[in-house]
Structure 1
Amino acid sequence: MTVPFTLIPARDSDVLIVADHASAHVPDDIDLGIDPALMDSHIAIDIGVAQVARMLCARLGCGAILGGASRLVIDLNREEDAPGLIPLESDGHVIAGNAGVDRQARIDRFYRPYHAAVTQALDGMARPFILSLHSFTPALSSRDEDRPWHVGVLYNRDDRAARIAIPMLARAGLHVGDQLPYSGTILNATMNRHAEARGIPYLGVEMRQDLTGDASGQARFVDYLAPVIEACRNALA
């Protein structure tokens, strides 16, 4: 039976890492109707996120909640009524198996337990700070666009952590995208719900996937992000 999320308990920190797209898992009873090779690509998973999250937890003593099913099964970073919650297409690939599925059954099975776990974890923290961790592909198949950033920082209305993180990441030698390659004013459902709606400070980070595809790149991002998380938490939480 598929577990809708993985919980890494915090040791001695009120930082919670939330990773909506940390898994490429598809339960045996779900057939997406796509080439299995696509399950290793960006359309199925945020490459490198689970590994970076686990290493940050080990270094900082923080906790994490990692999504347990592929974003092609259900996109946890969407509102329940969003058209893309159960995607019918991703970067030019038709997800034929999602046509006509029982939408409510997938919400009840994956989406609500995941978000309930995030709520419960935050409720147990005195002064929580959230790191929302994602990764992005350096090139889309369906669009011709330049994506030179090493890391993107996303937010909606609350940009407090972003204003701390962006100069720190730039000083570390990274090419930082402010609200790039995606805008948190558009794609920020999980943080809108668990952070902004509750007044909890957070940092949204997108790492470039060609830099997080192996252990050495993942370790470098841990080195980049750990001091940024500590600085944001100390200033805001």
Structure 2
Amino acid sequence: MKKTNPIVPYLITFSMGILLIFFMSLIGVDQKADIAKQKEEGENGEEVSTEDFDPAALAQGKCISCHGGNFEGGVGPALAGTTLSADEIADVITNGADGMPAGLVPAANMDEFVEYILSLGADGEPTATEEDAEEEPEATEEEPAEEPAEEETATADAGKYEGMTSSCIGCHGGNLEGGVGPALVGTSLSADEIKDVIKNGAPGMPGGMIADEDLDGFAEYILSLK
């Protein structure tokens, strides 16, 4: 019987190992694009995208609970009328600050978000730019601006009371659905109980935050929230 060379099995095993390494390297090349894409995702697991980015919506969702409903300041400093530069704002958002987590804004949208913050006026609304002013038609004497009808008073009052809730969202949540303090939306308190808490305070809440003449209307507004 012819004897097999003992080196042959080792050569076969070696050759198969080389082929396996070669095929694994091909798989690695195919996955390279996927790995690069994953690196572009935000730190919070959100895919970075410049499409359909709304800086106002992001600010309402992530900033008002600490910086106030009109960005006038609360637990955190005021954003409306800030004296920080664009680079300073971007640095705080990217790296965080005292009590503020980092990475709340995707890096690809940072410039647009910083521009929005710098545009906020004292009322918490973006101020008109020169381009906006050019697009708005000037009012003429022949076409005077329409005055609001008297029957819109109720709507105006609702807006007034809604504005008063800016002092509440820091503890009761941006949508008044609860935070450090209980939810105001769908509260089980009566109007008299609401007025008593607002006027005299409660544990962790100071009294006198709403003027006495506005207590009745404000209590009705809170009870209307669903």
Give the TM-score normalised by structure 2.
Answer: 0.21
Higher share in strand: 1
More helix by share: 2
Structure with the bigger RCO (C-alpha within 8 Å, sep 6+) is 1
TM-score, length-normalised on structure 1?
0.20
